[in-house]
Structure 1
Amino acid sequence: MSNSYDLVVIGAGSGGVRAARMAATYGAKVAIVEEFRVGGTCVIRGCVPKKLYVYASRFNDLFDVAASFGWQVDASFDWPTLVANKEKEITRLEAAYVANLEKPGVEIIRDRAVVAGPNTVRLLGQDRELSAKYILVATGGRPFVPAIPGAELGITSNEAFDLPALPHSILIEGGGYIAVEFATIFAGLGVHTTIVYRGDALLRGFDYDMRKGLEAGLIERGIKLIYQKTIAALARSGSDIDATFSDGVTAPYGAVMFATGRSANVDGLGLEAAGVRLQANGTVAVDAFSQTSVPSIYAVGDVTGRAALTPVAIREGWYFAETVFNNNPMAVDHSEIPTAVFAEPEIGVVGLTEPEAAMLEDIDVYVSRFRPMMNTLSSRTGRMVLKLITRKDGGKVLGVHILGPGAAEMIQLVAIATGMGATKADFDRTIALHPSAAEELVTFKAPSYTYRNGKKIGG
């Protein structure tokens, strides 16, 4: 056991693990300190279990359309089986993360760490100090819970994966990724689900057609939406929880979940005392190379508030190692990041929204709406939406927005083309794959409408 390292990483999530592994590969003596489980939010209680639960919830939709294809289905759902299988999978992934760290020689320390100085990390459990040429803060984020009476009666995404039983109903506060994804999960598993959101439409910052399409899909799924209200208080009422809204109305629910955003995990880390500057929202201020205001201390991932996405944290961790330990300065380009919302319907986007693009230059907008082929033999009325935004007269593709089955898989491949600067002509040269939803992106003939000098024409 050593007390001196080239690099000490605090936090064994996606960004920290990648940075530690790469630095060790380049010959650095590395320790990574984690107080919970290796893998971080994404692997343990975020993206991975979330996607598994989304898959589970979608079987309900498949059973619903099965009859139109000649199938007779008699199915039942068992929550404990899903929870147990989820735990088995994330335990397997955690072991893989540990092996990937140990292979290049990273020392894993299970403890709570705080920054005690520009080159010092204190382990609280072991009551000892580590010296490090460099310190990397990769502590991620945590769910934000509003300070209201009875807040302790609610749950967050951390607890939602391991509930002892499914509630008969659930109220979810929030309008972002986490809120709509968990609403999809719970509703698909048979829970009466309600979303309450302070705004007037879900997914603030997304393209309007994606927001409205998602809203319609959630309503078709049986999810109740309450806008321009918040939860003012919670109180126990027998086995239920009474939620009092900001307008004074009170209603009972089997469970209440807060999906009201996330905060940077910086409390008690000693960053400010060490001279690390924090931004007004509590995130760690860093430059393009992830360096903080203290030259020997860096930070990557959600704790920096740049883009709270696992692949971004991984890339930031990789580039940190390249910059500091491979004499190869690299800065992550955060300008065009594809992202997906694994709700029902699913959303995949890359690039600018329609208003963002129209504010910058003259644009053409192509939109296609149609029923997914899976639903054409059934009574389901949901629509897919594919939107292509280009510079005027068929120029560079500025944004692609897809709502419907397979949106995430499609947008990952589209992002390769947009990242290379593809134009509408490049899309047009591509022969369509029929029958597929994605073929719509390469068969648009004329714009649905345009923007010239910031004004919408047609549509």
Structure 2
Amino acid sequence: MIKESKACGFSADETAQFEWSKLKGMRDAYVKRLNGIYEQNLKNDNVVYLQDTASFVDTHTVKVVLDDDTEVSIKAKKIRSRWAPSTTDGDPRWRAGTNSDGFFDIKKQPRKVAVVGACYVAVEFADMFHALGTETHLFIRHDTFLRTFVPVIQEKVTAEDSKGVGSVEVDTLLWSFGRAPELDKLNLSVTKVAQTGNGHIRLDKYQNTNIDNIYALGDVCDRGYELTPVAIAADRRLADRLLGGQEDAHLDYSNIPSVVFSHPTVDSLGLTEPAARQIFDDENIKVCNFSFTAMYYSMLEQEEKGPTSCKLVCVGKEEEVVGTHILGIGSDEILQGFGVAIKMATTKADFERCVVIHPTSAGELVTMK
């Protein structure tokens, strides 16, 4: 924004020094304060909170070994299993770098970094490094520029694709290619809880496992949404059902909005165009596409302007909107409101009946043809 303000008549100094250590300290203090608030709220509600990894003894009992080696056993009528991050300690190749949990343990801003992975977190961290001035290399598998990679010890990444083998020297190596449920520590076998082939816990729509008194929440589930707000939403509905007398309370996993917090942000809600065409006949699908330059960039030189693109995927004679996808500045804030509309089975005609707020990028979604 300092750079872009010049186009609006401001005389701004672009050489302002950035202090990585100050950002890290402020961030660490914020997280500590936030966690303290949550812990205090639990105490206020007379909740006993044990922060460690639990494991099953039987279908009604779990045990927790605390830092001082004290073992605590807990019997319960209902047991909920939550996800814990997998680590990269088991394979010596991973020790050359850190993972996404260790991002803010980096004490000094790297001059050059390699981020390995193509998930949300990988893209977001690579984007942050790049925006802060670190030379950033993002390594991706599958159908883009990198199909296989072979990590080696020390501060080097060796990559192999169809064109051969190459390497890049970096200060920091960050692994971020997704996570897996850490079920091995749960001793889940004593419960006979059913799992999928890729190690997640098999559930029905009520978060029930195949064992009557055991439920699962979060990334450990087989629902396919590894997002914190999804876990929280499922938790609330489960509590409403088990403790609040709402017998049919459950999370509807359709039309869940998600955002990649890159620059610019990229958002998705509902069906993509290919997914919609797999489910419905082509003649029942109508797609609206529109790309434009947000007015925020109107004073900037062309090469400094950022893109904005929107897509609506509509189905049937009523043109119900079943997919909304946005790339561009502020798109994360835009999608939340439209997310409510999509959950209410909004049609394209409903969008068009809404009066445009001008000048906004959000207004473009209600005028698309």
TM-score in same-fold range (> 0.5): yes
Distance (Å, rounded) in 2 between the aligned partners of 1:283 and 1:349: 24
Distance (Å, rounded) in 2 between the aligned partners of 1:96 and 1:422: 38
- 2:151 corresponds in structure 1 to 233
Query: What's the TM-score once normalised by structure 1's chain length?
Result: 0.74
Q: Is this contact kept in 1: 2:88–2:94, CA < 8 A? A: no
Q: Is this contact kept in 2: 1:389–1:400, CA < 8 A? A: yes
Q: Is this contact kept in 2: 1:144–1:262, CA < 8 A? A: no
Distance (Å, rounded) in 2 between the aligned partners of 1:366 and 1:393: 15
- 1:280-319 pair list within 5 angstroms: 280-306=197-223, 307-319=225-237
- 1:128 corresponds in structure 2 to 72
Deviations 1:119-175 (A, max 9, x none): 11112232232211111111343366895x632112111001220111111111111
2:8 matches 1:65: no
Distance (Å, rounded) in 2 between the aligned partners of 1:366 and 1:292: 41
Deviations 1:154-204 (A, max 9, x none): 211100122011111111111121111011100011100111111234xxx
Q: 1:145 to 1:375 in 2, by over 3 A?
A: farther
**Matched letter for residue 255 of structure 2:** E
Aligned-pair CA distance for 1:346: 0.5
2:51 matches 1:116: no
Distance (Å, rounded) in 2 between the aligned partners of 1:63 and 1:128: 54
Give percent identity, aligned residues only: 31
Distance (Å, rounded) in 2 between the aligned partners of 1:372 and 1:297: 49
- 1:174 corresponds in structure 2 to 117
Between the two structures, name the one with larger relative contact order (CA 8 Å, sep ≥ 6).
Answer: 1
Q: Is this contact kept in 1: 2:146–2:159, CA < 8 A? A: no
Distance (Å, rounded) in 1 between the aligned partners of 2:175 and 2:86: 12
Distance (Å, rounded) in 1 between the aligned partners of 2:159 and 2:178: 19
Unaligned runs of 5+ in 1: 1-61, 202-226, 447-459
- 1:250 corresponds in structure 2 to 167
- 1:399-414 pair list within 5 angstroms: 399-414=323-338
**Matched letter for residue 231 of structure 1:** F
Q: 1:134 to 1:231 in 2, by over 3 A?
A: same
Query: What's the TM-score once normalised by structure 2's chain length?
Result: 0.91
Distance (Å, rounded) in 1 between the aligned partners of 2:136 and 2:234: 37
- 1:341 corresponds in structure 2 to 260
**Matched letter for residue 137 of structure 2:** T
- 2:346 corresponds in structure 1 to 422
2:361 matches 1:437: yes
For residue 263 of structure 1, give the secondary structure of its aligned residue in structure 2: coil
CA-atom RMSD in angstroms: 1.8
- 1:354-393 pair list within 5 angstroms: 354-359=273-278, 360-361=280-281, 362-379=284-301, 380-392=304-316
Aligned-pair CA distance for 1:419: 0.5
Unaligned runs of 5+ in 2: none
Aligned-pair CA distance for 1:382: 2.7
For residue 279 of structure 1, give the secondary structure of its aligned residue in structure 2: coil
Distance (Å, rounded) in 2 between the aligned partners of 1:275 and 1:413: 42
- 2:141 corresponds in structure 1 to 198
Distance (Å, rounded) in 2 between the aligned partners of 1:92 and 1:251: 39
Q: 1:419 to 1:135 in 2, by over 3 A?
A: same
Q: 2:38 is matched with which residue: 82, 97, 103?
A: 97
Q: 1:63 to 1:195 in 2, by over 3 A?
A: same
- 1:24-103 pair list within 5 angstroms: 62-74=1-13, 75-103=16-44
Distance (Å, rounded) in 1 between the aligned partners of 2:221 and 2:88: 16
- 2:194 corresponds in structure 1 to 277
Distance (Å, rounded) in 1 between the aligned partners of 2:47 and 2:110: 42
Aligned-pair CA distance for 1:393: 5.5
Q: Is this contact kept in 1: 2:264–2:328, CA < 8 A? A: yes
For residue 188 of structure 2, give the secondary structure of its aligned residue in structure 1: coil
Distance (Å, rounded) in 2 between the aligned partners of 1:298 and 1:373: 48
Distance (Å, rounded) in 1 between the aligned partners of 2:326 and 2:53: 42
Q: 1:175 to 1:112 in 2, by over 3 A?
A: closer
- 1:211 corresponds in structure 2 to none
Distance (Å, rounded) in 1 between the aligned partners of 2:181 and 2:64: 20
Aligned-pair CA distance for 1:308: 0.8
Deviations 1:359-389 (A, max 9, x none): 2132111111112222222221431001112
Q: 1:373 to 1:84 in 2, by over 3 A?
A: same
